[in-house]
Structure 1
Amino acid sequence: MGKEENKVGLIGLVALTVTSVIGGGIFNLMNDMARNSSVGPVTIALIISGAGMGMFVLCLNHLTNRYPELNAGIYSFAQKGFGNFVGFICALGYWASIFLGNVALGSLAFSALGYFFPIFGDGQNVYGVIGASVLLWIMHFLILKGSDFASKINGFITVAKLVPLLIFIITLVVAFKYDMFTANFWGTVSGNFEWGAVLSQVRKAMVSAVWVFVGVEGAVVYSSRAKNKNVVAKATIVSFAIITSVYLLSTVLSFAVLSRSDLAELSKPAMAGVMESVVGQWGAILINAGVVISAIGAWFACTMFSGEILYQTAKEKIFPKVFAKVNKHDAPTNALLLSDGLVQFFFFSLLINKSAYNLMALLASSTMLVPYFFVSISYCKLNWQDNRKINGQMFLGIITSLYMGLVLYMSGFDYLLVTTLLFTPGILVFIWARKENKLPVFTKGEKIGATLLTICGILCIVFIATGTIDVVNM
């Protein structure tokens, strides 16, 4: 570990978390919501999603305080509750979601740059891929300077990306039109609240809302490099408060300056169109600049996370020990190299096959829900083992688990089945790591789980081959 003065403090952890979560999704969230829902259901969906993720954050804080020795990130809590194989699957899912998401962020960043420099196009042409590749390896070598150095850079990025968002929110507050906001508030034929119609809209809006909260546990991932556990808990809560406030205000207030139909027709990034409708072209320029900064900032933070996850799991003998190697700055060299090497591969693949991006984005979204769900039910199991009664914390864990289960269900069967394509080959990596460390590979229950996972992976290949699952148009 590094020296105390090189540990990451409260501001650094908050910057890492906020930067990684508030990426590009927020800049088009009002458009995604408006296509299926009116402002009333949208508000409910954001509140429910925020409350669900807020409860998850509280569970993480309780786990962090109860098990201070578990400092390898959220996967370690799932491992504590359900054993090494579940811990490995959660770590694999979390890591894969992060590095696959980095490809999307790189493409998004250069797509936004295309507003100013048309040569980059949609971020998936030759120039966009070259630009993204160069920036990827600049980030790589900056992160090799150490987590404290990198987190300071993130501090500047966080301020730079929040400024245009803050200006956007203030502008919409000033331009707020009550009649516009209340018109067709519930999106029903009668104009009044109707359970069936409203709940249908809420469900659709929640599908869009859940993804933008992914990464809110970022401070926990870096808990081993934090100055202390209290800093981790505070950083997680502060980050969540900032993230939720920004999402809720920026999305809901947009319905007060443009109608739902107008929001639904805006091109990406929709926030630029909203801002331009209020203040003119300079607003679109400001927001597009914000997209560039936000996407690059999230990409930078998530690049840090991807290497850290592999490094911590290798230290815990869950992944092969080759990924536990660090340099003189305590940066995980091999773990970071593999993560960024895979990102580079997917960048190049975008030039050959555009559908590769669709599958990558799908996996990045669905794989993250797996560790979230297992951490939630692990919280319940560990709490029961400690107390043997239904107390407030147990109730919190049950509600959080039900919420995560609901989100998994809402994501759809096809999404979950395709995810097994990633997890199934990972079984070989788990076997490698266990044998390398001369540890038993599977317990009886884990053998059953690995077998079922393999069967699902094979079924998924069959369904894709026969066209039952269309990964390009999902």
Structure 2
Amino acid sequence: MTDEATRTTGTKVTLVTLTAMVVGSMVGAGVFSLPARFAGETGVAGALVAWVIAGAGMYTLALVFQRLAMRRPDLDAGVYAYAKAGFGEYTGFFSAAGYWASACVGNVTYWVLIMSTLGQWVPALGEGDTVLAIALSSVGLWAFFLLVRRGVKEAAAINRVVTVAKVIPILVFVLLAIFAFDPQVFAANWGGEGYGSLFDQVRATMLVTVFVFLGVEGASVYSRHARRREDVGRATILGFVSVLCVFASVTIVSYGILPVGEIAALRQPSMAGVLEAAVGSWGAVFVSVGLIVSVLGAYLAWTLMAAEVMYVAAKDRDMPRFLARSDDDVPVNALLLSTALSQVVLVVTYFSADAFDFALDLTASMTLIPFLLAAAYAVKLRATRETYDGASPGTLRGDLVVAVLATVYTVFLVFAAGWEFLLVSLIFYAPATVLFAMTRREQGRRVFTPVELTLFAVVAAGAVIGVVALAAGWIEL
């Protein structure tokens, strides 16, 4: 083997590592907040329906990413690349920018939750939104920047170890909660009285399920590093099924420990409060330690993915060329810009009424458009039969059903999220277009085509409405 070949294969990662990246990016802050987030919106029946819908919907999305990875192996950083291939450069830019921003905002939730967890013992940290908490979180942000800066291979290896370490306390929580399970409490929590109709309860939980499933596309985003292309799809499905079982279990067993009102009133991480009620004060400490390990691992995975999307977009000449700089396979400038955006959002949380919920919901809502575009691209591929030469009737029918269901599900999620977070998302999308303009200018091209200009006008109008709504108090952070 030549030296060049050695250098090339040395950057590739295995199926186990890819699966760990999917699990690692999904199992983070969200799972530790599930008991209170669900109990604040629904009872047991609504939770069960919500997980069935979310599980089925996200499974179709996982299948979409699996099949697109096989049908278009030439496309890296899937979420962004599929939008561009299907609907043009400006739409692809929106997908890349939105996905990147959602990852950066999501990283902020990790630091807020870590500080809120430590705030149980250090009151000055509050619920992760005090000046001290933000200062310490900022130190953590830049410390991880230096860690990832050392190399992608090292960071991916660390993530695989951390993924194993963080799943263990979550499984222990489920087992202990089962032993402490009270059927009478569970039955009393069944209907979610006072929360409205079952449809309203389920709709209110949808954005929560989006957040916890973010990362299902992780292997697709990191596909250029896969040792074998088929491992991308396998890692996506393996990671998804494993995490779905864990998330649903954490939510449902909590309803058998405390009345729904008490669960909803728990401070985050609410999983710690549930286990404390089940086994005593040591349970809260146990969960808190597991949370810190879990969140740091998820933060590492999302830092890698955020930078990867911007780097690949720049390599494809869809982002400014300064983002394409890479040292030892590390996208340095993309990593720096990602960390800087997280820092800005972290400061914004200081002015939010509920820093954690705000960052969590904004993360989920900003991911919906990239997910919707990827699902729609799968529909377009099937409709045009591109890449389907020689495919069997069964394959054609199966792929069409999966793509349509994934698209319908993501459209429902946009509806469930509500117009407030859509407008706040547009406040980011509009100014981010500066990066698109820079890219076109670097290439000596016209900034907008007529169609792109129309799309930008719509986005800019939505951003203006969003700013007015914030100023008038119609939307509250």
- The alignment's TM-score, normalised by the length of structure 1, stands at 0.91
Distance 1:466 1:279 in 2: 47
The answer to whether structure 1 residue 377 and structure 2 residue 390 are counterparts is no
Of 46, 55, 58, 1:41 maps to 46
Q: Is the 8 A contact 1:16 1:154 kept in 2?
A: yes
| Among candidates 186, 191, 205, match of residue 186 of structure 1 | 191
User: In the alignment, what sits opposite 1:154?
Assistant: 159
What SS class does the counterpart of residue 255 from structure 2 fall into? helix
Q: Deviations over 1:53-94 (max 9, x none)?
A: 110010111111000000123110111110111100000000
Show CA shifts across 1:152-179 (max 9, x none): 1111211221111010111122333334
Change in 2 beyond 3 A, CA 1:173/1:310:
same
> Offset of 1:377 from its aligned partner?
1.1
Deviation at 1:350, TM superposition (A): 5.0
CA contact (8 A) 1:78 1:374 kept: yes
8 Å CA contact 1:418–1:457 kept in 2: the answer is: yes
- Are positions 1:339 and 2:345 aligned together? no
Aligned counterpart, 1:193: none
Change (3 A) 1:347 1:211: closer
Q: Aligned residue for 1:192?
A: none
1:323 aligns with 2:323: yes
Contact 1:109 1:123 in 2 (8 A): yes
| Pair 440,378 (structure 1): closer, same or farther in 2 beyond 3 Å | farther
Quote the Cα distance in structure 1 between the aligned partners of 2:187 and 2:362.
38
Deviation at 1:47, TM superposition (A): 1.3
Name the residue aligned to 2:29.
Answer: 24
CA RMSD of aligned residues (A): 2.3
2:289 is matched with which residue? 289
Give the letter aligned to residue 306 of structure 2: S
Question: How many angstroms does 1:277 deviate by?
Answer: 1.7
Distance 1:187 1:453, change over 3 A: closer
Distance 1:114 1:464 in 2: 29
Aligned to 2:76: 71
- Structure 1's unaligned 5+ residue stretches are 190-195
Deviation sequence 1:296-343 (CA, Å, 0-9, x none): 22222111112111101101111001100011x210011111111222
Determine if the alignment matches structure 1 residue 308 to structure 2 residue 308: yes
Q: How many percent of aligned residue pairs carry the same amino acid?
A: 34
Which deviates more from structure 2 when the two are superposed, residues 356-365 or residues 196-205? 356-365
Q: Retained in 2: the 8 A contact 1:349–1:356?
A: no
Distance 1:156 1:297 in 2: 9
Partner of 1:274: 274
8 Å Cα contact 1:33-1:205 kept in structure 2: yes
Q: Give the corresponding residue for 1:446.
A: 452
Q: 2:254: which partner in 1? A: 254
Q: C-alpha separation between the residues in 2 aligned to 1:258 and 1:355?
A: 26
The whole-number CA distance in structure 1 between the counterparts of 2:119 and 2:359 is 22
Once the 2 structures are TM-superposed, how far is the Cα of residue 447 of structure 1 from its aligned partner?
2.4
The corresponding residue for 2:234 is 234
Over 3 Å counting, the alpha-carbon distance change for 1:444 and 1:348 in structure 2 is: closer
- 1:464 paired residue among 458, 465, 470: 470
Offset at residue 448 of structure 1 (A): 1.8
Report the count of equivalent residues. 463
Aligned partner of 1:428 in structure 2 is 434
Aligned 8 A contact 2:189 2:259 in 1:
no
Cα distance between partner residues in 1 of 2:91 and 2:303:
24
Q: Distance in 1 between matches of 2:475 and 2:193?
A: 33
Supply the AA of the counterpart residue of 2:65. Answer: L
> How far off is 1:31 after superposition?
1.4
1:133 has 2:138 as partner: yes
Q: Which of residues 385, 397, 400 is equivalent to 1:394?
A: 400
Change (3 A) 1:451 1:127: closer
C-alpha deviation, 1:188, in angstroms: 5.8
Q: Counterparts of 1:167 and 1:466 in 2: how far apart (Å)?
A: 47
Pick closer, same or farther for the CA change 1:450–1:356 going to 2, 3 Å.
farther
Deviation at 1:361, TM superposition (A): 5.1
Report the equivalent of 2:95: 90
**2:365 aligned partner:** 366
Paired amino acid for 1:208: V
User: Take 1:224 and 1:346, find their aligned partners in 2: how far apart are those partners?
Assistant: 29
SS at match of 2:36: helix
- Which residue pairs with 2:60 in the alignment? 55
2:415 pairs with 1:409: yes
Give the direction of change, closer, same or farther, for the CA distance of 1:95–1:359 in structure 2 (3 Å limit).
same
Give the distance between the partners of 2:78 and 2:151, measured in 1 at CA: 18
Cα deviations by residue, 1:259-306 (Å, 9 ceiling, x for unpaired): 323322323222112111221111111011122222222222111112
Match of 1:177 in 2: 182
CA distance in 2, matches of 1:347, 1:415: 18
For residues 170-214 of structure 1, the C-alpha deviation after alignment (integer angstroms, 9 at most, x for no partner) is 11223333343334523469xxxxxx8322322223243232212
Cα distance, 1:454–1:105 mapped onto 2, change above 3 Å: same
Cα deviations across residues 406-465 of structure 1 (Å, max 9, x unaligned)? 110111122212211111112222121122123454333222212222222223333333
Q: Counterpart of 2:15?
A: 10
- Cα deviation for residue 355 of structure 1 reads 6.2
Q: With structure 2 as the length reference, what TM-score do the two structures score?
A: 0.91
Query: Are the counterparts in 2 of residues 115 and 288 from structure 1 also a CA contact under 8 Å?
Result: no
- Structure 1 position 219 matched with structure 2 position 225: no
Which segment drifts farther, 431-440 or 391-400?
A: 431-440
User: Letter of the aligned partner of 1:111 in structure 2?
Assistant: S
Contact 1:113 1:292 in 2 (8 A): no
Task: From the superposition, tell whether residues 40 and 337 of structure 1 become closer, same or farther in structure 2 (CA, over 3 Å).
Answer: same
CA contact (8 A) 1:276 1:282 kept: yes
- Aligned residue in 2 for 1:418: 424
CA distances 1:10-43 after superposition (whole Å, capped 9, x unpaired): 2222222222222222112111212221111111
Counterpart pick for 1:144 among 135, 146, 149: 149
CA distance in 1, matches of 2:260, 2:354: 32
Query: Given residue 311 of structure 1, which amino acid in structure 2 is its aligned partner?
Result: Y
Report the CA distance shift for 1:228/1:123 in structure 2 as closer, same or farther (over 3 A). same
Q: Which amino acid aligns with 1:161?
A: K
Q: Verify the 8 A CA contact 1:176 1:257 in the aligned structure 2.
A: yes
SS at match of 2:273: helix
Rounded to whole Å, the distance in 2 between the matches of 1:164 and 1:299 is: 18
